[in-house]
Amino acid sequence: MSERRSRIPQAHGEDGALLVLVTASVLFLAIVAAIALDLGQAVVTGRRMQNAADAAALAGTRQLDKVRLSASSSSPLSSATVNDMVLSVATQNGADSSLVVCTFIQWDQAPLGPCSNGSLAYNAQAAGVLVTAGASNATGFARVIGVTQTRQNRVAAATVQPLIGQRAPLLVCAFGHPSPDIFVVVSAPGVNPVRYGINPAAIGSTYRAHAPHVSDCGLAGSAWKGDAGGDVFMLPGWLDIGTGVQAGPIRSQIAGQQGCAPDAMGCVMALPVCSGSNGQAGDNGRLLCERFAVFKLVSSTSNSQTFALMAGAEATTGIGGLGRAGPNDARLVKLVL
């Protein structure tokens, strides 16, 4: 009898231990699930804030570009619209307005000052904006340890870059008919790393970019009619020419402009501007081209097009380069961070 009694409390002890173990396991799983929910929410919010920062940086930099371009017009845009644009786009993408910070930056991302200081939009060094976008989340399990919310901040930056790479159907000699004495580009020492800038005095001047007889920058023979061959060009550099006649301009993606379809009057293109050649003829010819410039088609026949030099425009496609983009440049807005 004593032996049977001694076994009863031992069985009850095992049942109690099992109950404690099951309870602890359930509690542990609940804690893990709660932590997973908090972390999952933080990851999703972080992604949303990165999208918000990216979108706001691009929108703010485009607005900066518009403000600078309008400064000399009869109806200039308010510089405050840069900060307004960043705040609007960031909050539309889920950021808390109190957690949005905008800073003007130089082309190398060095800070200039807050976007709330609108006068900095006209600083010659201002090349873009840096944006921080943030949002807060209410927590689940973390409330147990006194943490009622978490915050996710993300950063992005964009700059206005000189356009250095794009596909183009035509090349333009820097000194061309019918304005041979007005150079498209001028020496710009100290503008790093670009050697040449667009000549403000040439804005509005016309250039025959495509015809049986175009300015040839010193090429021998008459095989070149302005055809670029349609490759993607990286400038500055030596470019191979295409011989023969191009069947009218092709579409070029320029923001806020029409772009070009065949023989579309008033259309706008970004074309490489060239200042010299290797002096060879036919397919052996090469041109030294400095940079892209923006041209508008002003007259056209079946195989001859004349373009007027424009005061710059923003391209929607292409490759941007280092350095500051001037107001008369073909330029590109891109994320740099």
Q: What is the DSSP string of 51-84?
A: HHHHHHHHHHHHHHHHHHHHTTSSSPPPTHHHHH
**146 and 225: one domain?**
no
User: Which pLDDT belongs to residue 16?
Assistant: 64
Residue 55 CA to residue 66 CA, distance in Å, equals 17
Residue 254 lies in a domain: yes
69-78, 155-164, 171-180, 224-233: segment of lowest average pLDDT: 171-180
Single-letter amino acid, residue 173: C
Pairing of strands 268-277, 172-173: parallel
Most confident segment among 85-94, 204-213, 222-231, 308-317: 85-94
As a whole-number percent, the residues of the chain with pLDDT over 90 amount to 26
* 336 within some domain: no
In terms of domains, do 151 and 214 share one? Answer: no
75, pLDDT greater than 60? yes
Q: What is the pLDDT of residue 188?
A: 54
In angstroms, rounded to a whole number, what is the distance separating the alpha carbons of residues 35 and 285? Answer: 68
pLDDT top residue among 9 and 154: 154
Buried-exposed string 98-115: b where 16+ CB fall within 10 A, e elsewhere: ebbbbbbbbbeeeebeeb
| d(C-alpha 198, C-alpha 292), whole Å | 9
Selection from 107, 219, 242 nearest residue 167 by Cα: 242
Res. 190 pLDDT band, cuts 50 70 90: very low
Give the per-residue pLDDT at 99: 95
Total Cβ atoms within 10 A of residue 191: 14
Tens digit of each residue's pLDDT (9 = 90 or more) over 33-70? 666 666 777 788 899 999 999 999 999 999 999 888 77
Q: Max alpha carbon distance in the chain (Å)? A: 124
Residues 151 and 231 in one domain: no
| Interval 74-100 mean pLDDT | 92
72, 311 Cβ separation under 8 angstroms? no
Q: Between the CA of residue 285 and those of 45, 210, 212, 220, 305, what are the distances in Å?
A: 56, 16, 16, 8, 21
pLDDT band per the 50, 70, 90 thresholds, residue 233: confident
* Structural domain for 222, as ranges: 168-320
Q: What is the mean pLDDT of residues 82-106?
A: 96
What is the C-alpha separation between 162 and 195, in angstroms, rounded?
12
Give percent of the chain above pLDDT 70: 76
- Angle in degrees, 0-180, between the axes of helices 2-70 and 80-92, rounded to the nearest 10: 150
Q: Is residue 327 part of a domain?
A: no
Helix (H) or strand (E) run with residue 150 in it: strand 149-167
* Rounded distance between C-alpha atoms, residue 280 and residue 250, angstroms: 27
pLDDT score recorded for residue 88: 97
Sequence-distant (≥ 6) Cβ neighbours of residue 258 within 8 angstroms: 264, 266, 267, 268
> Given this model, what pLDDT does residue 262 score?
56
In a domain, 314, yes or no: yes
Which of 30-34, 102-106, 275-279, 312-316 comes out lowest in average pLDDT? 30-34
Same domain? For 183 and 271 the reply is yes
Average pLDDT over residues 143-148: 61
pLDDT recorded at residue 140: 64
What is the predicted pLDDT for the residue at 192?
Answer: 43
Lowest mean pLDDT of 32-41, 145-154, 222-231, name the range: 32-41
Residue 187 confidence (pLDDT) = 62
- How many domains in the chain? 2
The verdict on 181 and 217 lying in the same domain is yes
Q: Which residues pair with 224 in a beta bridge?
A: 243, 244
Q: Residue 181: is its pLDDT beyond 80?
A: no
Residue 56 and residue 188 in one domain: no
- Does 207 share its domain with 139? no
